[in-house]
């Protein structure tokens, strides 16, 4: 039997990935699809193996298979906080897609823009289903990349009033200028402290660097029915908040493994998967969604990006 023609193997740069990302509402729907797959068990995600090349450095491999779409791939992501002093990105990575039928690699692409979009979209899927019915503003506790990607999603969801913690005047000016151009529907307030941002917020997104000192949110600042979306693990939302709330995770097994390793001290067992919570009636009181980042969502977003980029004629074919 003659060998089949090999599938193209495409490389996409960070700019090409960014240009091919889904619009915010479509991204939220894609994130919802990933959360439900995790809850239903139709996504296979082994524990993330980690290595530590330097003190304070973390690098993860995130292999995954998703039955919905027959998607196979891996994200390699490394966090180097010290890169900020060198003028380099602090989070770097690649996503590799493979053909699930043959194992042949089909794409390799920069992971930065994809991860930013995916993370905000997962928050958006939870907000869409679990935000409290009583109106209120949204608080974001960092002015970095995640603030910008979340502003895009919040605007698309009609959440107009947003307070962002910006500890430096230059950061506030830069974020305000960006928001005027890219998210003009947002009424943005830049405040210097988390307490000012969080007080009265219906939704709180915590996005400080994982392990940052002094970032813990005081339970007294929080509304009794707030939706809490930590993307910084237990750095901001401690057990005193999580254990008194309804507690969900995108990947329950991953949360339990991280808790056993010390990343979620004193956290109780979660009540279930975010993918189940977003399909049922919102419970009363505070809700915590510990979305830890998952390879299923990465694959869905990478598949979309690859298809969009190829249709637009971007990327370059690599030799095999």
Tokens at residue 36, please? 């439900």
Per-residue pLDDT of the chain (320 residues; tens, 9 = 90+): 455 566 789 999 999 999 999 999 999 999 999 999 999 999 999 988 889 898 888 899 999 999 999 999 999 999 888 888 898 888 899 999 999 999 999 999 999 999 999 999 999 999 999 999 999 999 999 998 999 999 999 999 999 999 999 988 999 999 999 999 999 999 999 999 999 999 999 999 999 988 889 999 999 999 999 999 999 999 999 999 999 999 999 999 999 999 999 999 999 999 999 999 999 999 999 999 999 999 999 999 999 999 999 999 999 999 87
Q: What is the pLDDT of residue 50?
A: 87
Query: Which stretches within the chain are classed as H helix?
Result: 14-19, 24-40, 112-130, 145-157, 169-182, 194-198, 239-242, 252-260, 274-277, 295-312
State whether CATH 3.30.540.10 applies to domain 132-293.
no
Bridge partners of residue 190, in order along the sequence:
164
CA distance 289 to 227: 8
Q: What is the pLDDT of residue 4?
A: 59
Helix (H) or strand (E) holding 79: strand 71-79
Alpha carbon of 205 to those of 131, 142, 263, 309: distances in Å? 12, 9, 19, 31
Q: Given this structure, which CATH class describes domain 10-114+296-317?
A: alpha beta
- The set of residues, in sequence order, having a beta carbon less than 8 Å from that of 170 and lying 6+ positions away, is none
pTM of the model: 0.94
Among residues 51, 16, 8, the alpha carbon closest in space to that of 315 is found at 16
Bridge partners of residue 228, in order along the sequence:
204, 288
Q: What is the pLDDT of residue 1?
A: 44
Tokens at residue 292, please? 């830890």
Phi, psi of 171 (to 5 degrees): -65, -40
In the DSSP assignment, the letter for residue 71 is: E
- By CB atoms closer than 10 A (0-12, 13-18, 19+), residue 207 is buried
CB 210 within 8 A of CB 271: no
Q: What is the pLDDT of residue 139?
A: 98
Half-sphere exposure of 306 (CA within 13 A, CB side): 24
Q: Which residues are catalytic?
A: 75
- The set of residues, in sequence order, having a beta carbon less than 8 Å from that of 115 and lying 6+ positions away, is 75, 77, 91, 93, 293, 298
SS3 69: coil
CA distance 133 to 203: 11
Model confidence pLDDT, tens digit, residues 193-224? 999 999 999 999 999 988 889 999 999 999 99
The CA R_g of the chain, rounded to the nearest whole Å, is 19
Domain boundaries of the chain, sorted by first residue:
10-114+296-317, 132-293
């Amino acid at each position: 039997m003659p060998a089949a023609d090999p599938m193209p193997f495409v490389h996409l740069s960070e700019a090409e990935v960014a240009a091919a990302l889904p619009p915010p509402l479509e991204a939220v729907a894609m994130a919802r699809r990933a959360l439900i797959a995790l809850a239903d068990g139709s996504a296979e995600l082994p524990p993330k193996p980690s290595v530590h090349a330097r003190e304070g450095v973390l690098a993860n491999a995130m292999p995954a298979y998703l039955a919905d779409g027959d998607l196979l791939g891996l994200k390699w992501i490394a966090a180097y906080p010290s890169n900020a002093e060198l003028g380099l990105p602090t989070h770097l990575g690649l996503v590799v897609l493979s053909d699930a039928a043959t194992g042949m690699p089909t794409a390799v692409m920069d992971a930065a823009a994809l991860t930013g979009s995916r993370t905000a979209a997962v928050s958006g899927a939870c907000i869409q289903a679990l935000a409290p019915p009583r109106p209120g503003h949204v608080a974001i506790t960092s002015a970095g990349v995640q603030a910008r990607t979340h502003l895009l999603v919040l605007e698309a969801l009609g959440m107009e009033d947003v307070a962002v913690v910006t500890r430096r005047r230059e950061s506030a000016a830069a974020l305000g200028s960006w928001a005027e151009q890219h998210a003009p529907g947002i009424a943005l307030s830049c405040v210097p402290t988390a307490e000012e941002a969080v007080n009265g917020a219906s939704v709180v997104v915590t996005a400080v660097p994982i392990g940052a000192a002094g970032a813990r949110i005081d339970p007294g600042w929080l509304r009794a029915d707030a939706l809490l979306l930590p993307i910084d693990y237990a750095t901001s939302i401690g057990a005193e908040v999580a254990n008194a709330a309804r507690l969900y995770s995108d990947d329950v097994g991953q949360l339990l493994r991280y808790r056993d390793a010390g990343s979620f001290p004193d956290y109780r067992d979660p009540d279930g998967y975010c993918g189940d919570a977003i399909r049922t009636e919102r419970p009363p009181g505070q809700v915590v969604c510990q979305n830890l980042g998952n390879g299923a969502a990465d694959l869905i977003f990478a598949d979309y990006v690859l298809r969009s980029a190829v249709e637009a004629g971007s990327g370059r074919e690599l030799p095999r």
